[in-house]
Structure 1
């Protein structure tokens, strides 16, 4: 049984064909972009597809069973529609890509060959290579709850239930200087102790990065100046004067949940779970065996 509409199938059975590939990409922020390996602009299924982007695809395979099918799409970063900073910021991670087979002489004749999500993106020699994974890759993801000592909720979500708008758990700041894209000297956070915002989140509220999010890896005070370390590769370099909103971080331990957030009743981990040390341990003189919790 053919997957092609009848007009396209009839065209493919002819002696000469006018066929090209189009890729419709939907990013995580709902932005839709279209690319084609044809030499002129096409509008297919209501989406404009831009030519001359340097896109090319490797061999694609569809296999029976539950195996994950992959195909690589290569492209040069010469298109105005592809910004290397957006790739670094993760806007293309887990984006949906539809591959279309199109009769460029009659663009209303097209067929959707496959739908995939972007996996790993690598850059080499001024170009990028995006791995497209079939929907079967979702079956490889861990589902359900994993039992561990640390909390597996996100700070402030429906399971954590902590109110992130409480005073003292968020603040507004401004970039004073950027030693590197990840190492920032900031103002506005002088009243907070070091590491208060470590493992927290940061949202840019002005400048070229306005609206983007970043994760905070470290928060320290050195020589009277407050410094933030962002997770590498999440955004282009901010500029002095860029403003942001930052929220406190959590290392997902029971002690932090109890002391920093006073939220122990909503802790979504198992802090009293014995570990391998208890399994392989044995009673020795001087130990306390009163049935009390392993974690205070």
Structure 2
């Protein structure tokens, strides 16, 4: 008998001892478990914490391709879900699974929801998170885009470039940090100016571990190197925190060929006619008999 069948038999007895439990898996690999029962539970290698102020509304389910949605409500606390982690984006797109569980025998359980976290609203020491079902992924447009620039992301399956190739990554400690957005280094020899523009800066230790930002500017100021992000990171980066700075690609064919030697995997259409050519109106041609245009 499966766990779901055992739970169904338990519910058919008339008196039940059930509660709800849900597991949250962040993109940085951290797994957290919660339950609305008054004592902690443990199954599937996850500890489900009680008395966290977490609760979930009923799942709105439908047939066909409709998206199954629900909401999670809870109080912000340092021990469970903190406002700082939400602000840093650590829960954006996190995976969520939910079960109905017999708390007297946790082998009797049934999964009732699987999906991801969507929008999160927070105020007054509490939060409200939208939970999106698995069918929400079907709303993402798929297919190739016909454009001059490359549609691949540097290092992905379409690009295939190995970012760990020597000369394309700088791993170093943070030195001078301003507003969690501007990083100044005393020296970064071996990399041309603008080498990291359009690239990614990833934090690998400290309070901002796991966070990353797109690089807006990469410039040389005297002997110093300045890396500037488009947006500040959501947590504080201190001098000494480990960073990984990856080279950037501006999606042009010339860059793919010269900087990365990866032209065979270029995913753009640089020779596609532009808008001016497509909407050009017919025009009367001048004389094409080879004679003088003078009359």
TM over 0.5: yes
- Give 1:25 shift: 1.9
8 Å CA contact 1:173, 1:186 repeated in 2? no
Taking structure 1 as the reference length, the TM-score comes to 0.80
- Give 1:223 shift: 6.7
Which residue of the partner structure matches residue 144 of structure 2? 145
Question: 1 CA distance for matches of 2:206 and 2:29?
Answer: 21
- Give 1:251 shift: 1.6
Q: Deviations over 1:271-290 (max 9, x none)?
A: 111232221124789xxxxx
- Give 1:250 shift: 0.7
- Give 1:138 shift: 1.7
Taking structure 2 as the reference length, the TM-score comes to 0.81
Deviation larger for 167-176 or 8-17: 8-17
- Give 1:258 shift: 3.6
Q: Deviations over 1:75-132 (max 9, x none)?
A: 2221524354544554433332111112324433322112122223333333333221
Deviation larger for 178-187 or 210-219: 210-219
Question: 1 CA distance for matches of 2:232 and 2:83?
Answer: 11
8 Å CA contact 2:115, 2:134 repeated in 1? yes
Which residue of the partner structure matches residue 182 of structure 1? 181
Question: 2 CA distance for matches of 1:84 and 1:187?
Answer: 34
Which residue of the partner structure matches residue 17 of structure 2? 18
8 Å CA contact 1:174, 1:188 repeated in 2? no
- Give 1:199 shift: 1.6
Give the gaps of 5 or more residues in structure 2: 285-295
Which residue of the partner structure matches residue 126 of structure 2? 127
Alignment of 1:72-83 (within 5 A): 72-83=71-82
Question: 1 CA distance for matches of 2:146 and 2:125?
Answer: 43
Deviation larger for 163-172 or 176-185: 163-172
Alignment of 1:140-219 (within 5 A): 140-189=139-188, 192-209=191-208, 213-219=212-218
Deviation larger for 21-30 or 134-143: 21-30
8 Å CA contact 1:88, 1:234 repeated in 2? no
Count residues in correspondence.
284
The structure that has the greater radius of gyration is 2
Give the gaps of 5 or more residues in structure 1: 286-296
